[in-house]
């Protein structure tokens, strides 16, 4: 089994953990299936841990230590793997986002976190967590902004985003904040970092009406889909289910405005917000 692009033991705590599983498994002369039998899981799951497609659990770390005779090595590594700057339900998706070759996202209510400006992100976080301390809000905003680093450099993913018109008509943070946010989207699109479409109100009901989706493909690993709800999210890797999500995304893309018309609409909205 192989993993996403540029995956090495330094790319994330999960990648280091997985590399250690593989190294110590091979030192013992065990196949993935043989190790899986010893720790009561499938060989495929061991393979997914080794390439950081799946995260281990605390009890599995204890069983790996027992099976491989590692004296608590994986139990000690586990907190590093479990630690995250993102919401627990999004943490694994955030790791995969940094390894993806293509990302396709449908956003029904807000600009996707990957593209948010600092002021827009702060308004979103503050609205969701009105009683949070200022430091906690700052940390959440910083973590969100750091995700945008993947858009720089030659290995940036191909990014396709569909925004429902609701996103550009909802004045998150007020007029000036929205004007800046929409201009950032325009700048990224004009720089070739992003292919952007708006799904207009006039489209009515559409294939993505009941939810949002985040689709990712990789050079040497199967595609995944991430679906998110209120304080929850789920990473999907079942091929049939991922294909269904892709089909729904394609149908929404088909009824969205063209990229040129979408940018014209966003530019017009930005001007309106700037003059408020």
In a shared domain, residues 102 and 59: no
Predicted local distance difference test score (pLDDT) of residue 80 = 79
In a shared domain, residues 126 and 251: yes
Strand pairing report for 158-164 and 195-199: parallel
In a shared domain, residues 64 and 96: no
Which residues span the domain enclosing 227?
91-274
Domain assignment present for residue 19? The answer is yes
In a shared domain, residues 159 and 260: yes
pLDDT surpassing 60 at residue 8: no
How many distinct structural domains can be found in the chain?
2
pLDDT surpassing 90 at residue 266: yes
Place of tokens 């994330």: 12
Predicted local distance difference test score (pLDDT) of residue 102 = 95
Domain assignment present for residue 8? The answer is no
Taking only the tens place, the pLDDT of each residue in 50-78 is 877 677 888 999 999 999 999 999 999 98
Domain assignment present for residue 36? The answer is yes
Tell me if residue 162 falls in helix, strand or coil.
strand
Mean pLDDT of the chain: 88
Domain assignment present for residue 4? The answer is no
Predicted local distance difference test score (pLDDT) of residue 85 = 63
Domain assignment present for residue 263? The answer is yes
In a shared domain, residues 131 and 196: yes
pLDDT surpassing 70 at residue 198: yes
In a shared domain, residues 64 and 185: no
CB-CB contact of 266 with 258 (8 Å): no
Domain assignment present for residue 6? The answer is no
Taking only the tens place, the pLDDT of each residue in 140-197 is 888 888 888 888 877 789 999 999 999 999 999 999 999 999 999 999 999 999 999 9
What count of Cα atoms within 13 Å lies in the side-chain half-sphere of residue 264?
Answer: 6
- Domain limit, last residue, from 50, 82, 114: 82
Q: Residue 114 gets which letter from DSSP?
A: G
More confident residue, 270 or 2: 270
In a shared domain, residues 257 and 190: yes
Nearest to 99 by CA among 160, 140, 48, 150: 150
Q: Which of 120-124, 232-236, 264-268 has the lowest mean pLDDT?
A: 232-236
| CATH code of the domain in which 57 resides | 1.10.260.40
- 4 pLDDT tier (thresholds 50, 70, 90): very low
Measured distance between the N- and C-terminal CA atoms of the chain, rounded to whole angstroms = 55
In a shared domain, residues 123 and 57: no
In a shared domain, residues 218 and 116: yes
Domain assignment present for residue 218? The answer is yes
Predicted local distance difference test score (pLDDT) of residue 53 = 65
Domain assignment present for residue 5? The answer is no
Give the sheet arrangement for strand 195-199, strand by strand: 195-199, 158-164, 102-107, 213-217, 224-229, 232-236
């Amino acid at each position: 089994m192989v993993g996403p692009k540029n995956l090495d033991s330094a790319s994330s705590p999960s990648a280091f953990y997985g590399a250690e599983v593989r190294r110590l498994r091979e030192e013992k002369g065990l196949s993935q299936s043989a190790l899986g039998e010893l720790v009561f899981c499938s060989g495929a799951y061991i393979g997914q841990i080794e390439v950081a497609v799946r995260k281990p659990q605390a009890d599995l770390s204890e069983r790996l230590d027992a099976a491989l005779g590692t004296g608590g090595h994986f139990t000690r590594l586990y907190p590093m793997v479990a630690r995250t700057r993102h919401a627990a339900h999004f943490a694994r998706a955030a790791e995969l986002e940094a390894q993806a070759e293509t990302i396709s996202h449908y956003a029904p209510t807000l600009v996707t976190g990957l593209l948010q400006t600092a002021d827009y992100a702060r308004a979103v976080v503050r609205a969701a967590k009105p009683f949070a301390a200022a430091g906690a809000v700052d940390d959440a905003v910083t973590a969100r902004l750091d995700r945008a680093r993947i858009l720089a450099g030659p290995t940036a993913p191909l990014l396709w985003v569909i925004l429902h018109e609701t996103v550009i008509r909802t004045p998150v943070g007020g007029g000036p904040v929205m004007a800046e946010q929409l201009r950032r989207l325009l700048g990224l699109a004009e720089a070739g970092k992003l292919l952007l479409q708006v799904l207009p109100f006039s489209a009515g009901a559409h294939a993505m009406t009941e939810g949002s989706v985040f689709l990712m493909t990789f050079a040497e690993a199967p595609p995944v889909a991430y679906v998110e709800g209120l304080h929850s999210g789920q990473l999907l890797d079942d091929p049939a289910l991922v294909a269904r999500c892709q089909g729904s995304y394609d149908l929404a893309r088909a009824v969205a405005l063209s990229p040129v018309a979408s940018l014209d609409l966003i530019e017009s909205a930005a001007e309106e917000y700037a003059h408020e």
